[in-house]
Amino acid sequence: MEIETEKSLVIGLDMGETNSVFGIVDQRGNIKSQTVISSTAYPDFDDYVKASVDALQPALDAVGGIGNVRAMGIGAPNSNYYNGCIENAANLVWPGIVPVAEKFQEALGIPCRVTNDANAAAMGEMTYGVARGMKNFIMITLGTGVGSGIVCDGKIVYGSDGFAGELGHVIVDRGESARACGCGRKGCLETYTSATGVARTAREILQKNTADSLLRELDPEKITSFDVFQAAEKGDALALEIFDFTGTVLGRACADFTAFNSPEAFVFFGGLTKAGDYLMKPLRKAFDENVLRNYRGKVKLLISSLNGSEAAVLGASALGWEESL
């Protein structure tokens, strides 16, 4: 294997609820090697760090050792870029405040930075993906929830406390029947345009409407956004209506978000983007109809160009290139 020149690599860690995926990445965004450990098997965080270092060792040996690695970037839920800690993450096994960056920095002897998944995705897009060269854009991740990373003047917006950019919890419906959100409020964007939001829409439309649909063959409680996509592929009118509604809600919200920082683009990432034009066509239409005239025709609506399975690790690794390190 070709030996890299000094400090031309970074480590990315995608810390998920179940698994932690490590990648050693070069400046072009090629993952040189990848390794995985369980996120749940080490209730003591020090043991988790030790297991991580052990798992990384063969991969580091293969690239000429840690001396060739500039820094480590970590994407983790509920993490705070400013203090390098995960703070009260409900879905991880470590309670309270966990000084993740400090622990890895001590164990590996290289600078470490941490940020949440959506900000990491924005960094990945800016460093290796469709937002390369852009100074102002908004990343929207459409998964189980809706996350966002806002980039202004080439920098992620972290805000006063490190937790800026929760566009998934902007309220888009203040009506009586607005949907309850996991955050304790009602009508958040996330309850309509996440994968689970699409499933909720499917259940609502199936109940209200008596039209024939392939979706009626499924247990309504078990319908997923992927089922809706498959039905749409077969031309199912109700499935198309569900995506139409979802795209419209998201397009209107993005039209409003445009007023924050006049972005060059919105970049959409996550499972739902596989719906392609079923989602993007109504989204573009609603965006154009609702955006302030000054911005009309200037904002690109793009789908992430990063490979889904690699994107999280690449995004985390992108933190390692930050100049401030």
* Binders of Zn ion in range 150-179 (CB under 5 A): 169
End-to-end CA distance of the chain: 28
* Binders of Zn ion in range 183-212 (CB under 5 A): 183, 188
The secondary element (H helix, E strand) that includes residue 140 is strand 137-142
Please say which residue, 53 or 170, places its beta carbon nearer to Zn ion.
Answer: 170
Q: Name the one range near Zn ion by CB under 5 A: 71-79, 117-125, 180-188, 252-260.
A: 180-188
Please say which residue, 201 or 304, places its beta carbon nearer to Zn ion.
Answer: 201
Is 146 a binder of Zn ion (CB under 5 A)? Answer: no
Please say which residue, 178 or 303, places its beta carbon nearer to Zn ion.
Answer: 178
Please say which residue, 77 or 124, places its beta carbon nearer to Zn ion.
Answer: 77
Decide: helix, strand or coil at residue 269.
Answer: strand
Size of the site for Zn ion (CB under 5 A): 4
| Residue 26 to residue 287: CA distance in whole angstroms | 37
Please say which residue, 188 or 319, places its beta carbon nearer to Zn ion.
Answer: 188
| Residue 25 to residue 127: CA distance in whole angstroms | 12
| Residue 243 to residue 280: CA distance in whole angstroms | 9
The answer to whether the beta carbons of residues 171 and 256 sit under 8 Å apart is no
The answer to whether the beta carbons of residues 171 and 180 sit under 8 Å apart is no
- Least distance from Zn ion to the Cβ atom of residue 187, Å: 8
- Least distance from Zn ion to the Cβ atom of residue 188, Å: 3
Give 146's strand partners.
Answer: 142
Task: Kindly list the residues in this chain that would bind Zn ion in the complex (CB under 5 A).
Answer: 169, 181, 183, 188
